[in-house]
Structure 1
Amino acid sequence: MKYHSKKKAIVLLADGTIFYGKAIGDKEGTAVGEVCFNTGMTGYQEIFTDPSYFGQLMVTTNAHIGNYGTNPDEVESDSIKIAGLICKNFSYEYSRPSANMSLLEFLEKNNLFAISDVDTRALVSYIRDNGAMNALISTRVNDIETLKKELAEVPSMEGLELSSKVSTTEPYYFGEENSAYKISALDIGIKKNILRNLAKRGAYIKVFPYNTSFEEMSKWNPDGYFISNGPGDPEPLTEAISTTKEMIESNKPLFGICLGHQVLALANGVSTYKMHNGHRGINHPILNLVTGKGEITSQNHGFAVNREQTEANSALEITHVHLNDDTVAGIKMKGKEVFSVQYHPEASPGPHDADYLFDQFFEAIKTSRN
């Protein structure tokens, strides 16, 4: 194994708290963003390439990162989207036969600065108590005061529009052209696995940029509409919210996931808010209020839908709640085939409890066509 000099590095939080570690590989640098943590035991490659994490420093709570390498089939976008990585033990070697490169090579290919040897248990405990906040990681360990000034200039995630940073710039197609159904998807940070799940159920998808008008999306004469996941605060997405209102008025089936769920709520006059920590992991418990069944789900969001306003809205019904904190995890419009969830049914890290939501969407499309 090639020897890698481990340069000293730090995690500097916005409140001035410092955690110490070492740079991964030979790379020196500084990276800034909102610090958050994911509790998943596996799936680091999917996490790093998920557009919903754009602009965030990712703390992985699993003690070992990199031990199974990387595989080109396990990416959720065309590049790494996190701003930086913070972990405990980083594996420079990997043992999975299907991997094509080490995680270090993958990080270097994507020019991502990362640090290891951080007491991630202490860091996560601190974030849990004090909330998600801006932070930076750096090898400039002797330049703390300058780093503090640089960190103070970083904008808060609250009020930050980031979909434009990760959305496609031109429409594109996904799936087989002769498929049974056509779906217009609004890309506000879409994951590839969502498109795979739609396509394997018989859909040909046209994916549109985040600021596309409803008129443009409807020209394709789709059988249904989809609003994707994505990063940042949903409230600045005024064009997407306006387009969603017209999707609703079209009376065609509409399905939203994660940020798309929040946009659907905003289109119905329900506000969203920034959570203390957010939900990021692969074992979050959900209660389906329609069936009475529990679901184990994959989640990644730092904003949530206002529950009181949702309950007071005569057009909406809460279909799912998060069992840890009773936040809104799913909504449906009464009398319409319009629904959304705050979690990721396309991410099946073990349980496939939420797969039915895609089937539900296609059943609605079949019914609306008859």
Structure 2
Amino acid sequence: MTTSTRGTAKVPAVLVLEDGRTFRGRAYGAVGETFGEAVFSTGMTGYQETLTDPSYDRQIVVATAPQIGNTGWNDEDDESRRIWVSGNVVRDPARVPSNWRAKRSLDDALVEQGVVGISRIDTRALTRHLRERGSMRAGIFSGTALSSASGAGVAPEAELVERVQAQPHMKGASLYEEVATKEAYVVPAVGEKRFTVAAVDLGIKGMTPHRMAERGIEVHVLPATATPDEVYAVEPDGVFFSNGPGDPATADGPVALMSAVLERRTPLFGICFGNQILGRALGFGTYKLKYGHRGINQPVQDRTTGKVEVTAHNHGFAVDAPLDKVSETKFGRAEVSHVCLNDDVVEGLRLLDQPAFSVQYHPEAAAGPHDAAYLFDRFVSLMEGQRA
């Protein structure tokens, strides 16, 4: 429930966590109530790309950088058709945006799209709490949403906690279909067309097919419910599985589709949710991380080269695969190709007997560093090798 209201900077608001911890501040964006999984993102910039990333569906995103909104909101950097986060938490919102491309403020964008937020809270204390206790269900309440259900004035904290605890958990949530495109569309190659790729949309960001198009790839973006016949109807040189939200343990359809692609030995590339889908297709399990990886400054080592990349992440689940041995799967030998240097979480997989690989992070660099751009070139090399 939201009520879009401008001029809300003095409206009281409260963030309530499922374990009873509360943070009181001021409304930021729309006024009302919202629920989601409270997570923190460590990027110092790139908030527009973060908020419009479908992977953040049903999450309340806490910005660890103290001041957010300095560059406003423009019409070029959206990564999808709308803001997907359930709520936005900032410490010190910029009073006036300053960027030549800005069309409106971040606050204006949140109001226009009915996204409830909160500002003027201690985001450092909140982040430390989430690191210690783990990501958890939360709610933001402002305006009439702070009223008691009994009609007896302001709701007591215990009542707000009960509202939060009544919400579904992220574990077991199937969300990829609700964020994916319903109709197929094509992103044409830039310059001469070299390859055709079928991209399965599980929550794809707009920059991802653009990065492939820059390399001469015509990208056919297909719904998450695409069948093998629909994938191969575009006569693809390669198949791509995108990022997306929710628990990969619920994604039986995409796992079956990826298995069909692997059986035909078509060059395959997956990112984020697509990495978890590949893990499941290979017979590995997945599990929920305590607080996940989110931001544009996560260190990952590419084990095939030994190089360390600074990468963009948004994932709360990971693949449970052995780090130090080659695994035998029904599609051939597989190994962990990338690993997070902070906590040894699996950040990539590759097959040794056929052209398929994946990474857990976002190589499209929107927003984020360009260290991982080579992965799109690696995908091109696989398609070149298959064609040869």
Under TM normalisation by the shorter chain, which class is it? over 0.9
Q: Which residue of structure 1 lines up, in the alignment, with residue 171 of structure 2?
A: 158
The amino acid of 1:171's aligned partner reads: A
The amino acid of 2:230's aligned partner reads: E
Change (3 A) 1:238 1:357: same
Q: Which residue of structure 2 lines up, in the alignment, with residue 271 of structure 1?
A: 285
The amino acid of 2:254's aligned partner reads: A
Does residue 45 (structure 1) correspond to residue 48 (structure 2)? The answer is yes
The amino acid of 1:271's aligned partner reads: G
Q: Which residue of structure 2 lines up, in the alignment, with residue 334 of structure 1?
A: 352
Contact 1:271 1:309 in 2 (8 A): no
Contact 2:189 2:215 in 1 (8 A): no
Does residue 355 (structure 1) correspond to residue 369 (structure 2)? The answer is no
Deviation at residue 3 of structure 1 after TM alignment: 5.9
Mean Cα deviation higher: 244-253 or 98-107: 98-107
Does residue 6 (structure 1) correspond to residue 19 (structure 2)? The answer is no
Matches of 2:319 and 2:259, distance apart in 1: 17
Q: Which residue of structure 2 lines up, in the alignment, with residue 19 of structure 1?
A: 23
Residue in structure 2 matching 1:97, options 95, 100, 106: 100
Deviation at residue 138 of structure 1 after TM alignment: 0.4
Contact 1:287 1:322 in 2 (8 A): yes
Contact 1:6 1:24 in 2 (8 A): no
CA offsets, 1:189-233, max 9 Å, x none?
Answer: 000010110111111111111111112111111100000000000
Change (3 A) 1:126 1:363: same
Contact 2:312 2:367 in 1 (8 A): yes
CA offsets, 1:287-323, max 9 Å, x none?
Answer: 1111111111111100001033894622211111100
Contact 2:258 2:278 in 1 (8 A): yes
Residue in structure 1 matching 2:62, options 43, 59, 62: 59
The amino acid of 1:216's aligned partner reads: E
Matches of 1:39 and 1:333, distance apart in 2: 32
Does residue 235 (structure 1) correspond to residue 249 (structure 2)? The answer is yes
CA offsets, 1:123-163, max 9 Å, x none?
Answer: 00000000000000101442133322321221110011000
Change (3 A) 1:33 1:226: same
Q: Which residue of structure 1 lines up, in the alignment, with residue 383 of structure 2?
A: 365
Q: Which residue of structure 1 lines up, in the alignment, with residue 262 of structure 2?
A: 248
Q: Which residue of structure 2 lines up, in the alignment, with residue 149 of structure 1?
A: 162
Does residue 300 (structure 1) correspond to residue 314 (structure 2)? The answer is yes
Change (3 A) 1:182 1:199: same
Contact 1:77 1:192 in 2 (8 A): yes
Contact 1:182 1:224 in 2 (8 A): yes
CA-based RMSD = 1.6
Contact 2:139 2:164 in 1 (8 A): yes
Mean Cα deviation higher: 301-310 or 215-224: 301-310
The amino acid of 2:382's aligned partner reads: A
SS at match of 1:118: coil
Deviation at residue 28 of structure 1 after TM alignment: 2.3
Q: Which residue of structure 2 lines up, in the alignment, with residue 73 of structure 1?
A: 76
Deviation at residue 349 of structure 1 after TM alignment: 4.7
SS at match of 1:74: coil
Q: Which residue of structure 2 lines up, in the alignment, with residue 343 of structure 1?
A: 361
Contact 2:8 2:27 in 1 (8 A): no
Q: Which residue of structure 2 lines up, in the alignment, with residue 82 of structure 1?
A: 85
The amino acid of 1:44's aligned partner reads: Y
Matches of 1:3 and 1:24, distance apart in 2: 9
Contact 1:40 1:282 in 2 (8 A): yes
TM-score by length of 1: 0.96
Contact 1:173 1:207 in 2 (8 A): yes
Unaligned ranges ≥5, structure 2: 1-5, 147-153
Mean Cα deviation higher: 85-94 or 239-248: 85-94
Residue in structure 2 matching 1:136, options 119, 127, 139: 139
The amino acid of 2:370's aligned partner reads: H
Q: Which residue of structure 1 lines up, in the alignment, with residue 151 of structure 2?
A: none
Residue in structure 2 matching 1:191, options 188, 199, 205: 205
Deviation at residue 337 of structure 1 after TM alignment: 0.8
The amino acid of 1:21's aligned partner reads: G
Contact 1:92 1:104 in 2 (8 A): no
Matches of 1:237 and 1:83, distance apart in 2: 22
Deviation at residue 252 of structure 1 after TM alignment: 1.3
Deviation at residue 67 of structure 1 after TM alignment: 1.1
Match runs of 1:108-119 below 5 Å:
108-119=111-122
TM-score by length of 2: 0.92
Matches of 1:294 and 1:348, distance apart in 2: 19
Contact 2:295 2:314 in 1 (8 A): yes
Matches of 2:374 and 2:9, distance apart in 1: 49
Matches of 1:28 and 1:260, distance apart in 2: 35
Q: Which residue of structure 2 lines up, in the alignment, with residue 282 of structure 1?
A: 296
Deviation at residue 4 of structure 1 after TM alignment: 4.6
Change (3 A) 1:350 1:278: closer
Change (3 A) 1:348 1:208: closer
Change (3 A) 1:223 1:3: closer
CA offsets, 1:326-363, max 9 Å, x none?
Answer: 11111101111100000111116563211110000001
- Give the paired residue count: 368
Contact 1:270 1:309 in 2 (8 A): no
Report sequence identity in percent. Answer: 40
Matches of 1:210 and 1:18, distance apart in 2: 37
Matches of 1:271 and 1:350, distance apart in 2: 29
